[in-house]
Amino acid sequence: MQPHIPFTFTLFGATGDLSMRKILPALFVAHREGKLHQDGRIICVAKQDFSQEDYLAWVSKSAAPYVKGSFAGVDNALWLSFLARLTYLPLDLLDSAGYLSLAKTLAAGKAVSVFYLATSPALFEPICANLAASKIDLSQARVVLEKPLGHDLMSSRAINDAVARVFAEEQIYRIDHYLGKEAVQNLLALRFANSLFEPLWRRESVAHVQLTIAEQLGVEGRGDFYDSTGAMRDMVQNHLLQLLCMVAMEPPTSMDADAVRDEKLRVLRALKPFSAEDMELKAVRGQYVSGAVEGQSVAGYQQEPGVATQSQTETFVALHAEINNWRWAGVPFFLRTGKRLAQRTAEIIITFRPIPHAILPMPGGQPGTSSNRLVIRLQPDESIQLHCLAKQPGDGMTVQPVALDLAFDQAFKQRRADAYERLLLDAIRGNLSLFVRRDEQEAAWRWVEPLLRHWETSASAPKPYMAGSWGPTSSFAMMERASAQWPEDR
Ligand code: BG6
């Protein structure tokens, strides 16, 4: 990994939502923090015929408000010095002739080239083919691909094949921004920098694992896209399965990209396929109807702009997964995600087995209930809590739940990088550890696809749930069948 190098970052789709909300704000923060080499240029490519001034004015209006923290506190001179890195290049991405002007712009320096494809995946093939035909030297280049990478295994293979005709696998950076979150890095530190947890991190000690990514937001003006995608493709196939890999993988031999990715791949390949019976009992899909989130009434999914009135697209998924290997056989991994839920939260809860025999009166009088949980919270704040029982002060021997609490913002005062900032810098510096390899991505599709097919042909619709709730009641019933509970039910 090279720490600080000259680069040319070509952003395809530079006028799109993702560029304005995530990519340009993250690059600005990296610039502000002195993490970008002074010879780092950002070429912004899109179809619209903007002048350089008009584009920069638009970036100031559309991207600056997404800079984390208050933009009002951002030094105007600093912002202008960031804008000085940007060059706008209008280009019809399907027109190969237009790429000659990009080739000319890139030829000017000897910097590392990063091509970020923040466009529809339908454009990945023509962009790569046109780059190859334009005589741009791609031998040292990197290409960053945004999700969704396909709709199923076949379409993801077609995209990967098209990109592979131009770039070698070690030049391809498939982004999953959940892997760039600070708390996910901390999960690795917790597991692999401490000796305490490893002996407990297995079926003999763990009763079950829960992974939740809950959102309060709805589809945010992306109804068209979301209605042909759904929660399984938008969140489970990528973010939730990547988190599951981080929890369940064996210790890699090093933090080398392929060592980590080999271990994640093993987990994905060991996921137990859903049988016909499991599809009914261990998988729940839901769709929100109107309700209230934080006291504000909100429309139901089918009333969102761009969504079909009879849509059968799921906005909620809960799964009871299992991993068929020695470490995890028989341990339920409960995955859950949804839009318009009661709270915005992302967390991983490892519940340990209950004590075998109670000699003290247990809270709630239930000796078989687990009292030990490790809660790794990714959002909205980052923390790790270890829940235990401790003696209540005073007479007698009454035990009560307490939490050993590590809140990162209190323990570490320094600024934590946002996921996109970390991942973009990794792509510029050539560090692939936090990017998804093709075989991982395909293994994830292979596991979710039978369930997607089943839902497509099933006579039953997604279960309705009220916006602002914790999802359909069947998700709680699924947990009950496995003698477990979601935290809200406890
Ligand atoms: C994106 C999904 O990948 O992740 C969105 O496409 C979702 O639908 C988003 O809202 C959630 O990310 P975060 O970081 O806000 O939890």
Q: Which domains occur in the chain, in start order?
A: 7-146 (3.40.50.720), 179-414+437-489 (3.30.360.10)
Q: How far apart are CA 423 and CA 435, in angstroms?
A: 8
For the segment 251-279, the average pLDDT, to the nearest whole number, is: 97
Structure tokens that stand for 271 in this block: 């996921």
pLDDT at residue 219, as a whole number: 92
CA–centroid distance, residue 391 to ligand 1 (Å): 41
CA–centroid distance, residue 53 to ligand 1 (Å): 31
Q: Is 239 assigned a catalytic role?
A: yes
- Per-residue model confidence as pLDDT tens digits over 74-127: 678 999 999 999 999 999 999 999 999 899 888 766 789 999 999 988 899 999
Does 157 have pLDDT greater than 90? Answer: yes
pLDDT at residue 254, as a whole number: 95
Q: How far apart are CA 35 and CA 28, in angstroms?
A: 10
CA–centroid distance, residue 393 to ligand 1 (Å): 44
Q: How confident is the model at residue 333 (pLDDT cuts 50, 70, 90)?
A: very high
**In DSSP terms, which residues pair with 350 in a beta bridge?**
209, 374
Decide: 434 and 426 in contact? Cβ < 8 Å.
yes
pLDDT at residue 370, as a whole number: 75
Residues 6+ positions from 272 with CB-CB distance below 8 Å = 321, 322, 323, 324
CA–centroid distance, residue 459 to ligand 1 (Å): 29
Question: Of all atoms in ligand 1, which is nearest to the CA of residue 238?
Answer: 3
- Per-residue model confidence as pLDDT tens digits over 31-89: 999 999 999 999 999 999 999 999 999 999 999 988 876 555 567 899 999 999 999 99
For the segment 432-450, the average pLDDT, to the nearest whole number, is: 97
Does 302 have pLDDT greater than 50? Answer: yes
Which residues are part of a known binding site for substrate?
177, 181, 215, 234, 339
By alpha-carbon position, which residue is closest to atom 6 of ligand 1?
234
For the segment 310-332, the average pLDDT, to the nearest whole number, is: 98
Residue position matching structure tokens 């318009």: 340
pLDDT at residue 367, as a whole number: 58
Question: Of all atoms in ligand 1, which is nearest to the CA of residue 181?
Answer: 14
Instruction: Among 179, 225, 234, 340, name the best residue to mutate to test ligand 1's pocket (greatest count of ligand atoms within 8 A of Cβ).
Output: 234
pLDDT at residue 1, as a whole number: 46
Question: Of all atoms in ligand 1, which is nearest to the CA of residue 147?
Answer: 3
By alpha-carbon position, which residue is closest to atom 9 of ligand 1?
235
Decide: 112 and 140 in contact? Cβ < 8 Å.
yes
Instruction: Among 181, 239, 243, 377, name the best residue to mutate to test ligand 1's pocket (greatest count of ligand atoms within 8 A of Cβ).
Output: 239
CA–centroid distance, residue 21 to ligand 1 (Å): 12
pLDDT at residue 414, as a whole number: 79
Structure tokens that stand for 394 in this block: 């005073």
Mean pLDDT of the chain: 93
By alpha-carbon position, which residue is closest to atom 8 of ligand 1?
234
pLDDT at residue 73, as a whole number: 54
By alpha-carbon position, which residue is closest to atom 14 of ligand 1?
178
Of residues 382, 385, 374, the one with CA closest to residue 410: 382
Query: Long-range CB contacts (< 8 A, 24+ apart) of 196-205?
Result: 197/374, 198/251, 200/352, 201/327, 202/327, 202/328, 203/327, 203/328, 203/329, 203/330, 203/331, 204/353, 205/352, 205/353
Could you tell me if residue 180 is left (phi over 0), alpha (psi between -120 and 50 degrees) or otherwise beta? alpha
Which residues are part of a known binding site for NADP(+)?
92-93, 147
For residue 75, the tally of other CB atoms under 10 A from its CB is 9
By alpha-carbon position, which residue is closest to atom 5 of ligand 1?
234
- Residues having CB within 6 Å of any atom of ligand 1: 177, 215, 234, 346, 379
Question: Of all atoms in ligand 1, which is nearest to the CA of residue 379?
Answer: 16
For residue 409, the tally of other CB atoms under 10 A from its CB is 10
Query: Long-range CB contacts (< 8 A, 24+ apart) of 18-24?
Result: 18/118, 18/146, 19/44, 19/63, 19/118, 20/59, 20/62, 20/63, 20/66, 21/63, 21/66, 22/66, 22/177, 22/420, 23/116, 23/118, 23/420, 23/424, 24/59, 24/63
Does 151 have pLDDT greater than 70? Answer: yes
Q: What are phi and psi of 390, to 5 degrees?
A: -135, 160
pLDDT at residue 95, as a whole number: 92
Instruction: Among 177, 220, 379, 418, name the best residue to mutate to test ligand 1's pocket (greatest count of ligand atoms within 8 A of Cβ).
Output: 177
pLDDT at residue 412, as a whole number: 80
By alpha-carbon position, which residue is closest to atom 2 of ligand 1?
234
For the segment 228-234, the average pLDDT, to the nearest whole number, is: 96
Question: Of all atoms in ligand 1, which is nearest to the CA of residue 178?
Answer: 14
**In DSSP terms, which residues pair with 172 in a beta bridge?**
143
Which residues are part of a known binding site?
92-93, 147, 177, 181, 215, 234, 339
Q: How far apart are CA 375 and CA 212, in angstroms?
A: 11
Does 211 have pLDDT greater than 80? Answer: yes
Angle between helices 153-164 and 124-133 (to 10 degrees): 10
CA–centroid distance, residue 345 to ligand 1 (Å): 12
For the segment 441-458, the average pLDDT, to the nearest whole number, is: 96
- Per-residue model confidence as pLDDT tens digits over 168-187: 999 999 999 999 998 999 99
The percentage of residues in the chain with a pLDDT greater than 70, rounded to a whole number, is 97
Structure tokens that stand for 8 in this block: 């040319």
| Catalytic annotation, pick one of 239, 357, 387, 454 | 239
Taking the CA atoms of residue 159, residue 165, residue 171 and residue 174 in that order, the dihedral angle to the nearest 10 degrees is 0
Residue position matching structure tokens 């960031």: 82
Full 3-state SS string of the chain: CCCCCCEEEEEECCCCHHHHHHHHHHHHHHHHCCCCCCCEEEEEEECCCCCHHHHHHHHHHHCHHHCCCCHHHCCHHHHHHHHCCEEEEECCCCCHHHHHHHHHHHHCCCCEEEEEECCCHHHHHHHHHHHHHCCCCCCCCEEEECCCCCCCHHHHHHHHHHHHCCCCHHHEEECCHHHHCHHHHHHHHHHHCCCCCHHHCCCCCEEEEEEEEECCCCCCCCHHHHHCCHHHHHHHHHHHHHHHHHHHCCCCCCCCHHHHHHHHHHHHHHECCCCHHHHHHCEEEEEEECEEECCEEECCHHHCCCCCCCCCCCCEEEEEECECCCCCCCCCEEEEEECCECCCEEEEEEEECCCCCCCCCCHHHCCCCCCCEEEEEEECCCEEEEEEEEECCCCCCCEEEEEEEEEHHHHCCCCCCCHHHHHHHHHHHCCCCCCECHHHHHHHHHHHHHHHHHHHHCCCCCEEEECCECCCHHHHHHHHHCCCCCHHHC
CA–centroid distance, residue 217 to ligand 1 (Å): 10
CA–centroid distance, residue 215 to ligand 1 (Å): 8
By alpha-carbon position, which residue is closest to atom 13 of ligand 1?
178
pLDDT at residue 239, as a whole number: 97
